[in-house]
Amino acid sequence: MKKHKDDGEIQMVNKLKSDIQVLNDNKPIVSYNHNVDYYIKKSKSNKKLYNRLSNTVLILSSSIPVIVVWQSTIQKADLFDLAIAFVSAAVLVLTGIKSHYNYEKNWYRCRKTAIAIENEGIKFVNKTTPYNVPSIAEAVTLLTDRVNSIVANETGDWALDMSTQGGR
């Protein structure tokens, strides 16, 4: 079975969630688990879409000069004119989609948020500042508040992006 490059991160996050649950009397901290999973998933999907569109644009863009040169060597110009027009239009559409939906920016923003949430979990498990408090209940409340704050900041950044881009 082929090992996926994200398997290490998935194992680390699952271990972290398990450690947090053990520290919390074997009760999962739903806000932490939900948010870390959500932002990892969204980061991966935006990265995948960004990379697919970028690679497709690269391939199609690089094919235009080849088609033009090939056209000049063959007399069936109508077919090649159509091919050039199609490839050029496809490049334009894919570039527009990439720009409109901001997959790269979303990928970075979601990844940054996932890492921030993961870091809070690591601090919680290791009982470092600010989680080195007397009671686990206080630490859980603090973790929940800090995770919710990270999510609120990301949501605010997203809303600002949407308002400056015409509500996409």
For position 5, what pLDDT does the model report?
57
Q: What is the residue extent of each domain of the chain? A: 30-164
Per-residue model confidence (pLDDT) at position 72: 67
The helix/strand/coil state of 151 is helix
Q: Which residue in this structure is represented by tokens 């699952």?
A: 14
Average pLDDT for 46-58: 87
3-state SS, one letter per residue, for 8-63:
HHHHHHHHHHHHHHHHCCCCCCHHHHHHHHHHHHHHHHHHHHHHHHHHHHHHHHHH
* Pairwise pLDDT comparison (9 vs 106), residue with the higher score: 106
For range 35-44, the mean pLDDT: 88
Top pLDDT among 23 and 47 is at 47
pLDDT for 123: 94
CA angle 151, 41, 156 (to 5 degrees): 25
Look up the pTM and report it. Answer: 0.65
pLDDT tens figures, 86-139: 888 888 888 888 887 888 888 899 999 999 999 999 999 999 999 999 998 899
| Number of CB atoms found within 10 A of residue 20's CB | 23
Looking at per-residue confidence, does 2 or 60 come out higher?
60
End-to-end alpha-carbon separation of the chain, Å? 40
